[in-house]
Amino acid sequence: MVGDRGGLAAVPDRIPEVAAAMLNAIERPAAPPPGARPALAELGPVYLANGFIGFLFAATGPLSIVLSVGAAGGLSQAQLASWVFGVFFVNGIVTLAMSQAYRTPLCFYWTIPGTVLVGPALQHMTFAEVIGAFYATGALIVALGLSGWVGRAMRAVPMPIVMGMVAGVFLRFGLDLVRAVHQDIAVAGPMLGAFLILSALPALGRRLPPLIGALIVGAAVVVGLGRAGGAALGGLELARPMLQAPSWSLPATIELVVPLAITVLVVQNGQGIAVLHAAGHRVPVNAMTVMCGIGSLFAAGMGAAPTCLTGPTNALLTNGGERGRQYTAALVTGVLSLLFGLAAPAVTGLMLATPKAFITTLAGLAMLRVLQAAFVASFRDRFSLGALVAFLVTVADLPLLNIGAAFWGLVAGITASWLLERPDFRAAAARDAG
């Protein structure tokens, strides 16, 4: 009928309305971002140390996963260097932009479970097909962030169950601390001693934070024992990222896109959101999700895995200090990530040559309070059985359908609570309604 505005004819008219709804789903910063000078004024020794330790953690163990997966998949040294540049430089920019805008420690790196997923894929498909899946994953994440669905889904999941999963993920850091002391007492022992002394003497600890003391003592021991790995530094050359052309493949899309999106949105971002909530920070979930997608698209151009809000590093950044100043630790991590990305060929060998006990001890000491908070939040009140199931399934670390155990921990925990803790759901719904 002429003049009928219904049906398909009305679709173009609704596009601005849909676009406006998508933009409205993105959380706005509570206040204009501070300039460089106020941020520098709020930066102190605690935040500087936490930022450095957070960066150091990402530039060692997680980086070794990228190198091992890429090498096993037959990637060249130039492709690996480009991957390293992408995950550090791109995510450093995202970290600086988001942390400065929201005055919240929002540190972004790459999905470690997603990187592990790529390993088997590289055995039977080309790197170009994998990169095509990276692009598709980034686009999917952007769409989900704009829809506002992610924020609603995260609010619907009981936080004790999420923290049970987080405790299961972070437990290994505490166990690695114990193993480091047992296996390399020469490095881990002095670091642990310095941490305990500074923690037991608050007056001294205020002048020299315990983690800084452990870092200084550990570095001195490593250098004194001749285990600094200086020979691995190599030539001082800047990174030369390779722009990688994607290849679109239906098998690669089916195998990788949905699992990669799940590892970013549920496993990795779920950890990061839970950690920041436990530290008293409000996370702009939809805005953060969109930035994960945008970061993933840029990183994919250099052959790098998708971007995520990291859990362990954000836990390190929020370890101590005033909540309102903790965002400066994320700014330190972001700047160091940019520099590391630029100098990736020269620095990667040196960082990987650092004694394993130095990194695991430092990360374990920083995670002690975080792990304690995760257990308290999990088993303090409601949903304790679901939190326990989520913890056990996550600790078991048995992936299913190429998806990591942390995701299945959440699924198992929510299922157990839904079946056996229905009164807790009703109480939570009544509290939210009130």
Question: In this predicted model, what pLDDT tens digit does every residue of 344-384 receive, in sequence order?
Answer: 777 656 655 678 788 788 878 877 877 887 888 888 888 89
CA distances from 185 to 189, 210, 224, 240, 376 (A): 5, 19, 15, 40, 30
Mean pLDDT across 124-151? 90
Mean pLDDT across 338-345? 86
User: Pick the residue with more confidence: 290 or 250?
Assistant: 290
Question: In this predicted model, what pLDDT tens digit does every residue of 293-332 receive, in sequence order?
Answer: 999 999 999 999 999 999 889 988 998 889 999 999 999 9
Mapped onto helix, strand or coil, the DSSP state of residue 229 is: coil
Alpha helices (H) in 201-326, listed in sequence order: 202-207, 210-224, 250-252, 258-262, 269-278, 285-300, 311-317
What count of other Cβ atoms lies within 10 Å of the Cβ of residue 12? 8
Q: What is the DSSP letter of 3?
A: T
Q: What is the pLDDT of residue 433?
A: 63
d(CA 301, CA 134): 9
Which stretch of 25-34, 262-271, 321-330, 373-382 has the lowest confidence by average pLDDT?
25-34
The tokens of 264 are what?
């970013």
The one-letter code for the residue type at 320 is G
Mean pLDDT across 95-112? 94
Residue 65: which of 80, 45, 86 has the closest Cα?
80
Q: What is the pLDDT of residue 362?
A: 80
d(CA 434, CA 428): 10
* pTM (whole model) above 0.95: no
Q: What is the pLDDT of residue 309?
A: 95
Angle at 331 between CA 327 and CA 337, to 5 degrees: 140
Cα dihedral across residues 397, 399, 403, 409: positive or negative: negative
The one-letter code for the residue type at 3 is G
Which stretch of 6-20, 192-206, 367-381, 390-404 has the lowest confidence by average pLDDT?
6-20
Question: In this predicted model, what pLDDT tens digit does every residue of 192-205 receive, in sequence order?
Answer: 999 999 889 888 87
Mean pLDDT across 54-80? 81
Query: Is 52:336 a contact under the CB 8 Å cutoff?
Result: yes
The one-letter code for the residue type at 123 is Q
pLDDT confidence band for 343 (50 / 70 / 90): confident
User: Pick the residue with more confidence: 236 or 189?
Assistant: 189
User: Pick the residue with more confidence: 82 or 240?
Assistant: 82
First and final CA of the chain: distance in angstroms? 49
Burial state string for 307-343 with b = 16 or more CB within 10 A and e = fewer than 16: bbbbbbbbbbbbbbbeeebbbbbbbbbbebbbebbbb
pLDDT confidence band for 2 (50 / 70 / 90): very low
Alpha helices (H) in 301-355, listed in sequence order: 311-317, 327-342, 344-353
- Greatest Cα-to-Cα distance within the chain, rounded to the nearest angstrom: 87
Please give the full DSSP string across 96-151, using - where no structure is assigned.
Answer: HHHHHHHTS---EEE-HHHHHHHHHHTTTS-HHHHHHHHHHHHHHHHHHHHHTHHH
Q: What is the pLDDT of residue 351?
A: 57
What count of other Cβ atoms lies within 10 Å of the Cβ of residue 83? 28
Residue 264: which of 227, 297, 233, 225 has the closest Cα?
297
Q: What is the pLDDT of residue 293?
A: 96
What count of other Cβ atoms lies within 10 Å of the Cβ of residue 258? 17
How confident is the prediction for the chain on average, in pLDDT? 83
Q: Which residues contact 330 (CB under 8 A, 6 or more apart)?
A: 51, 54, 95, 99, 104, 105, 106, 107, 314, 317
pLDDT confidence band for 1 (50 / 70 / 90): very low
- State yes or no: pLDDT of 407 exceeds 60: yes
**Domain range summary for the chain, segments of one domain joined by +:** 34-239+247-433
User: Which range, 8-12, 44-48, 262-266, is most confident?
Assistant: 44-48
Q: What is the pLDDT of residue 369?
A: 77
- State yes or no: pLDDT of 3 exceeds 70: no
Q: What is the pLDDT of residue 16?
A: 61
- State yes or no: pLDDT of 404 exceeds 80: no
pLDDT confidence band for 21 (50 / 70 / 90): low
